[in-house]
Amino acid sequence: MAKENFVRFENVDKSYDGKVLVVKGLNLNIKEGEFVTMLGPSGSGKTTCLMMLAGFETPTNGEIYIDNQAISNVPPHKRGIGMVFQNYALFPHMTVYENLAFPLRVRKIPKDDIDKKIDKALSMVSLQGYQARMPMQLSGGQQQRVAVARSLVFDPKLVLMDEPLGALDKNLRENMQYEIKHIHENIGVTVVYVTHDQTEALTMSNRIAVFNDGKIQQLSTPNELYEEPMNSFVAKFIGENNTFKGEVTELADGKCKVKLSSGEEILSNPIFVKSKGQKTTISLRPERAIIDSRTPMDNNYKGIIEEIIYHGDHTRLRVNLLRNKEFILKVPNISSDMKIKIGKEINVGWNSVDCRALDPK
C-alpha cells in the first residue's frame, strides 16, 4: 500500500543571506508513487525546494523527511535519489553503458546484475542497442533519455527532475513529456518535477504545487488547478484568463454581484469574497464565454471584435467587452460559415459558476 507521507516538508524555511526567505514555512506531503510538479515563475522557490530535497541545499529552519527519515544531515549520495537535470549531466568520455553503470558500480552491484539493470533501463526509454554510443553521437532527445534511464537504473524510491526538457525543441519536448509520464505510470516511482512551463505541468502531473514568493499558492490536481483557481495569481499563471476588477454589491444564494468601475454588473461565483463592499478580481477562462448562446446565461453583454487569430483547431478573438479591449474568446473551428469579422458587434455570455470572484490583486 502506498505511503501517504512518503516525502514530507515540515515548516521549512530557506534563506541564503540570513535575511530574505526564498522559501517560507513550507509544508508539503507527497504520496508514494505520486508525480508532483513544483511550478512557478523564476525566483518563486520551487528549485530551491528541489535542491533541499536532493541534499545540495540545507533548510534554514524545519525538516524534510523521506519515508519518515529526517534527511537534513544525510549527504546527497546516501539519499537513494535519482536526478535528471536540464543539461543532461552525462559523462562525455563514457559510453551510454558506462554512464548507466556508474551509479550501479558506486553501489557495488554485481556485474551480471548491472547488465540486467542497464538492459531494463534502456528498454524503458526505447534505447536498446545504444550501449556503445558516446553522448556526442546522440541527439538531444536521446541524451535526455539516457539521463532519465540513468536516474532509474538503480531502482530509486524517489526521482527528482529539474527542468529536464528545457533544452529540447517543442515537438521533442512534447514527446518526452508523454514518455516520462508513461514511464512513471508503468513503474510507479515517486517523481518530484520542477518546471516553469504550465502546459508541461498540466500534462504530466498527478498534483501540482504552484509556487510564488516562496510559498505554495495552491496544491491541486491539474483539472482542479485550471478549473478552480483559489487566488488571482494561480488564475493568471495557469492558462489564459480574462479579468475584471470591481466591488461586491450583493451576496446571496451562492452568487455575488460585482459592480465594475464602468457601472456594469457581473454575476459571479464568490470564491474569495465574504461580504458586500469587498474589492475583487473576477476570473473567466476564454473558452467559458459563448457567442450568441441559444440557452439563457447569467451574464450577457455586447462586444466588438477587435482582432481575429486563426489557430487551426480554434479561432482566437480579441473583443472590446465591458470596456476591456483585451477580452479573449476561443471559438472552435467546427463551422466554416461562422460570420465573424473585425468590427462586428457580437453577443457574449457566460454563467456565474464559470467566473470566479477572487482576491483583488
CA-wise closest residue to 319 among 346, 337, 297:
346
Residues composing the chain: 361
- Average pLDDT, whole number, for the chain? 93
Q: What is the pLDDT of residues 9-22, one digit of tens each?
A: 999 999 999 999 99
Residue 8 predicted with pLDDT over 60: yes
- Identify the pLDDT of residue 311: 86
Grid cell for residue 130: 545504444
CATH architecture of 7-233: 3-Layer(aba) Sandwich (3.40)
Q: What is the pLDDT of residues 145-172, one digit of tens each?
A: 999 999 999 999 999 999 998 878 888 8
- Identify the pLDDT of residue 334: 61
**CB of 181 closer than 8 Å to CB of 204:** yes
- Identify the pLDDT of residue 332: 83
| Least trusted range by pLDDT, from 208-222, 261-275, 332-346 | 332-346
Tell me which H or E stretch contains 12.
strand 7-15
SS3 291: strand
Q: Is the dihedral of CA 79, 84, 89, 91 positive or negative?
A: positive
Grid cell for residue 271: 470564491
- Identify the pLDDT of residue 312: 85
* Residues 6 or more apart in contact with residue 352 via CB below 8 angstroms: 255, 267, 268, 269, 298, 299
- State phi, psi for 50 to the nearest 5 degrees: -65, -40
Between the CA of residue 69 and those of 79, 111, 112, 301, what are the distances in Å?
Answer: 10, 31, 32, 58
Residue 335 predicted with pLDDT over 70: no
Does this model's pTM top 0.95? My answer is no
Q: Please tell me the class of the 241-358 domain.
A: mainly beta
% the chain with pLDDT above 70: 99
Between the CA of residue 197 and those of 25, 174, 177, 213, 328, what are the distances in Å?
Answer: 24, 11, 11, 17, 21
Confidence of residue 336 (pLDDT cuts 50, 70, 90): low
Residue 39 predicted with pLDDT over 90: yes
Confidence of residue 277 (pLDDT cuts 50, 70, 90): very high
% the chain with pLDDT above 90: 85
CA-wise closest residue to 22 among 45, 55, 50, 39:
45
Tell me whether domains 7-233 and 241-358 share a fold: no
Q: What is the pLDDT of residues 89-141, one digit of tens each?
A: 899 999 999 999 999 999 999 999 999 999 999 999 999 999 999 999 999 88
CA-wise closest residue to 321 among 359, 266, 361, 250:
266
Residue 285 predicted with pLDDT over 80: yes
Domain parsing of the chain, residue ranges: 7-233, 241-358
